[in-house]
Structure 1
């Protein structure tokens, strides 16, 4: 078994993938939004013209093979024109959270992101991934969801986050929340609380969902019933996070077991 959450970074595949914007007709500010989302990440972005192809399509490419594609409009609506406050306040319902195929396909790529004010966009990608995993859990209506918050008071102070976890917990998911115990979510939420002051409680950000045995997975940009999904991010520097997400069942199960047994 891994001896720390950091050890799981050694288990990811870290594929060499890139994004190609095909037949771009959108203005430069739109392209710049995509650049800002992935600035400094191991994912290159380039424009390319292809004959007889649709305009403003983004392809995910590995070793010359197209793995997935999404429209720039999908990316704009799901993430590029969104800010994190919309998730905190609950302005975006959980069933409205979307993850375009080209971003889902960046699973197991290691990311290093900065939060506000250093960057307005980088951390947003991990926030969206978190919500996608929570949506998978909510739609499954069973299984186990483990999530860390650094400060448990966030469940009280962020209306959108509170509503998400209230919905997931009341839909039959076994919800476990982790963080410094500056609030008691069990006063209003049917969740199991784990508190502490060690590194995983103060400096980790994980959202891990394991479905119930026998659940059938459903392919698609947002997963579905039976999907395993995990986000793991660690704050080794103030407001700077190393993170990755994965949908690989065996890896998700190992992360879940580590948290259950060691955190």
Structure 2
């Protein structure tokens, strides 16, 4: 059904790995089936560290619902999904991101070329540089080097090291998209499980750290009524939170 995201009763803004893709096959099928059965009233936004190509392949498999919008690359990509199932950046929302990045990729790679504990990921990203991270080998002074360049460091899941434009991450990009679409924040559930989801979970919408979330995320989250810590793992925790906040009738609350 064609409708604007602002017309939806409820919008799920969710991380992928460990969250939307987490939990048992039965739990994932229950969440995905519920979304597809209620597409007239439920909107879907992926907010992920993954790149658009991964998301295109994931949804193209036919087992995962297509979102209407994608915030990818840890918030440095903001895109819509076309009727032809292409993921196209929204230039008006990415201009500031591009300006803050200021073509810093080459200088970041040069500065961190021999940094211990960091292995450059092979994918070429537009507005970030990402590394696999070994905490036992890593020298914390490297983070200061990046910050001195006017950029941000984000370490998550104790294995990823991302260099991002200053002030750009999942939360700010989600708020930028919601404002652009006139979607009330109170209708949106943000869902995540690792530290790179923190900025999204504290952005002001109802939010959930699903069961199985990493301890550093849980430790960093404030105790506030709009932030829920679910028991259900991954997909099960999302539906648990939808029911907790009474955002939309769920299979248990029809």
What TM-score results when the alignment is normalised by the length of structure 1?
0.28
